[in-house]
Amino acid sequence: MESRPLRYFVAVAEELNFARAAERLGMSAPPLSRAIRKLESELGVTLFERSTHRVALTAAGVELLAEAKIVLDALQAAQRRAQRAGSPDPKLVLGLKADGHAGMLDAVLARYEADPAALPVAIRLCEWGEQPQLLRRGEADAAFVHEPFDHTALDAEPLITEPRVAALPATHPLADRDHVNIADLGLPAEPVHPSEFRRNLTTGADAHRCATSRSCSRSSSSASSSRCCPSPSPPCTRGPVSPTARCRTRRPS
Amino acid sequence: MESRPLRYFVAVAEELNFARAAERLGMSAPPLSRAIRKLESELGVTLFERSTHRVALTAAGVELLAEAKIVLDALQAAQRRAQRAGSPDPKLVLGLKADGHAGMLDAVLARYEADPAALPVAIRLCEWGEQPQLLRRGEADAAFVHEPFDHTALDAEPLITEPRVAALPATHPLADRDHVNIADLGLPAEPVHPSEFRRNLTTGADAHRCATSRSCSRSSSSASSSRCCPSPSPPCTRGPVSPTARCRTRRPS
DNA sequence: AGACTTTACGTTGGGCGTAAGTATC
DNA sequence: GATACTTACGCCCAACGTAAAGTCT
């Protein structure tokens, strides 16, 4: 199997429309249709249920879409990393959200640089949740990441578990508590992405200013803060669940 | 970048000889040479230092070789998984060395099967160390693996840490000890692959019969066994280091 | 001199685009 | 009847093979 038909497949699977997919790929629809049919016959599997006015993924198509994304990301990563390795001054790129290293950056760098084969480290600052994609696409070689994140094609190593802090305005009804359960905030008990966390707090009727902090640094806002626990009962027994992980796409060889 | 030139590159990088690589690929040398040159110009990087009688990888070539293997494995995995997902009765394939699940198989299966979207599970028995490659190539979807193993492109989750047992003939000088340090066996303090472990023991001058067991099951041989610790001093403080991990190539979506 | 990579040159096949066909909504 | 996937047809470039040249050991 080649990578080009896979790119075509992903475009069609995401658009669920041959004409739009062809436009996105900068080509016309007929060769795209042919390429998909050829791919199907090569795999011996039907990827789309099509009528003239409807395109839908089969189970095999759903599976291939997930796998194809991995392949295409890996392909991009191979290209970028080879280019960086061949550049005049190759660096190891460390993906990092500002203040997102739980104070461990210096220690981790020192440990890495103790290796005589270590490369100079370039820090690449990024936003919440960007790191995994940077790693998968080869724009970074290692990163500090907060759980939960999509582990697909990544190798992560837990580094530290930090307490969660709910930062609330002083007038918030929960502001004077020592502990707050995640359920109190109207969030599910399962791990929640920080953006959800924030949205839920900021849309609260009486929330003037809100912030979430999962790093070890204390929020500098004037809001009061309470320890935040994942489940309503019993509070804090299983402990907060947001380990910072160091993540890389492969082992140093 | 396409996948075919990458396949060509891997062949040349592994053979370090265009003629042999071409033969392995079932083609003649000239188009292979051209394809590599084209790849180099597309990447803007030199991959090989070549004289007429010598081919060697550059730093960029070394990097690309590692990345290319990931890509090609992922490509194969995409193909296999799509085919399996499209088969009449799709299964989830669990890679397993016989007796290598630390007694957790039933519990893990029960937990998985509690998911209403769970597929029937097919057990694929394999040899020591085969699991990671099975996962990378899409011949399995999840596996029980013992550390240490190559985490490249895999997502592993520690399940249990088992004690290591050194099984020795009763006449072995170390046989009457309660604890044995790995250093006593002439092995490095770092994690050792079981095959190395075994080889070292079996080549010992006075070793009649030897076996290593890292699973929780007790060796049924008549040999005596001692607890085995990673570092000579202090023994057993940091504990044995062979966690069984459950491993998969990607998250269920 | 020998072994190996590379250039030269001609051929082939895979992939693309335009145009027409066909089946659904 | 309009829309959108597919088939038909013709073209072109990309990739291959053979033959020969170049180069280092």
Query: Which pLDDT score is estimated for A207?
Result: 27
Query: Can you name the residues that pair with B92 across neighbouring β-strands?
Result: B121
pLDDT band at A97 (very low <50, low <70, confident <90, very high): very high
Q: What is the per-residue pLDDT for A63?
A: 98
**Residue A149: closest C-alpha in chain B:** B251
pLDDT grade for B91, boundaries at 50, 70 and 90: very high
In this complex, is the C-beta atom of A119 within 8 Å of any C-beta atom belonging to chain B? no
Q: What percent of chain B has pLDDT over 90?
A: 55
**A158 or B252: which carries more pLDDT confidence?**
A158
* Across A179-183, A198-202, B216-220, B232-236, least confident range: B216-220
Mean pLDDT within A97-115: 93
Instruction: Give the CA-to-C1' distance from B5 to D23 in angstroms.
Output: 26
Note the pLDDT tens digit of each residue in A49-80. 999 889 999 999 999 999 999 999 999 999 99
Helix (H, G, I), strand (E, B) or coil at B156: strand
pTM tops 0.85, yes or no: no
Judged by average pLDDT, the poorest of B56-70, B132-146, B157-171, B184-198 is: B184-198
Question: Cβ contacts (< 8 Å) between B43 and chain A: which residues?
Answer: 79, 82-83, 86
Q: Which of A250 and B50 is assigned the larger pLDDT?
A: B50
Higher local confidence (pLDDT), B110 or B221: B110
Does residue B211 surpass a pLDDT of 90? no
User: Mean pLDDT across chain B, nearest whole number?
Assistant: 80
Contact B251 A152 (CB under 8 A): yes
Q: Which of B3, B77, B86 sits opposite A60 (nearest CB)?
A: B86
Least confident range from A204-208, B2-6, B47-51, B153-157: namely A204-208
**Closest Cα to residue B240, out of B250, B252, B226, B251?**
B226
Distance of CA B16 to the CA centre of its chain: 25
pLDDT at B164: 74
B79 contacts in chain A (CB < 8 Å): 1, 43
Which of A63, A75, A152 is the closest to B85 by Cβ? A63
Does residue B114 surpass a pLDDT of 70? yes
Minimum-distance CB partner of A60 among B44, B85, B156: B85
- How much is the mean pLDDT over chain A? 80
**3-state DSSP assignment of residue B240:** coil
Chain B, nearest residue to A73 by Cα: B71
Question: Tokens 């079932």 label which residue?
Answer: B26
pLDDT of residue A138: 97
Looking only at the bridges linking them, the beta strands covering B54-57 and B179-181 are unpaired
Residue nearest to nucleotide C7 (CA to C1'): B30
C-alpha to C-alpha distance for B252 and A195, rounded to whole angstroms: 22
Q: What is the pLDDT of residue B252?
A: 38
Q: What's the rounded mean pLDDT across residues B38-53?
A: 95
- Whether the pLDDT of residue A244 is over 90: the answer is no
CA B168/CA B207 separation, integer angstroms:
7
Q: Pick from B67, B75, B85: which is nearest to A59 by CB? A: B85
Instruction: Give the whole-angstrom CA distance, residue A235 versus residue A184.
Output: 11
Is some CB atom of chain B closer than 8 A to the CB atom of A98? no
Residue A35 (CA) to nucleotide C4 (C1'), in angstroms, measures 39
Give the number of other CB atoms < 10 A from CB of residue A203.
Answer: 10
**B34 CB inside 7 Å of strand C:** yes
CB contact under 8 A, A82 and B74: no
Q: What is the pLDDT of residue B13?
A: 98
B90–chain A Cβ distance below 8 A for any pair: yes
Q: Which residues of B touch A4 (CB under 8 A)?
A: 2
> Nearest residue of B to residue A64 by CA position?
B82
- Determine the Cα angle at B35 with ends B29 and B37, to 5°: 105
Name which of A173-177, B81-85, B238-242, B247-251 the model is least confident about: B238-242
Banded model confidence at residue B185, pLDDT cuts 50, 70, 90: confident
Say if the Cβ atoms of B47 and A82 lie within 8 Å.
yes
Angstrom distances, CA of residue A101 to CA of A7, A76, A105, A137, B213:
35, 27, 6, 21, 39
Which residue's alpha carbon is at the shortest distance from the C1' of C24?
Answer: A52
Task: Check whether A134 has a pLDDT greater than 50.
Answer: yes
Assess whether pLDDT exceeds 90 at residue A24: yes
Where does residue A162 fall: left (phi above 0), alpha (psi -120 to 50 degrees), or beta otherwise?
beta
Protein residues with Cβ atoms closer than 7 angstroms to any atom of nucleic acid strand D? A 17-19, 29-30, 33-34, 36-37, 50, 52-53, 55; B 2, 4, 26-32, 34-35, 38, 51-54
Q: How far is A208 from chain B (nearest CA, A)?
A: 36
List, as ranges, residues 7-46 from B with C-beta within 8 Å of A.
43-46
Beta B142-146 vs B92-97: how paired, if at all?
A: parallel
Q: How confident is the model at residue A180 (pLDDT cuts 50, 70, 90)?
A: confident
Task: Report the range of poorest mean pLDDT among A139-153, B153-167, B231-245.
Answer: B231-245
**Between residues B154 and B194, which one has the greater pLDDT?**
B154
Indicate whether A240 pLDDT > 90. no
Measure the CA angle with vertex B212, ends B211 and B218; round to 5°: 95
pLDDT for residue B246: 64
Give yes or no for A47 touching B (CB within 8 A): yes
Q: Chain A residues with CB inside 8 Å of B77's CB?
A: 67, 70
Q: What's the pLDDT score for residue A161? A: 87
pLDDT, position A173 = 85
Question: What pLDDT is recorded for position B234?
Answer: 32
Residue A195 binned pLDDT confidence (cut-offs 50, 70, 90): low
Q: What is the mean pLDDT of residues B20-37?
A: 98
Q: Does A253 touch chain B (CB under 8 A)?
A: yes
Nearest nucleotide over every DNA/RNA strand to the B4 CA, judged by C1': D15
The listed range with the strongest mean pLDDT (A126-140, A197-211, A226-240, B223-237) is: A126-140
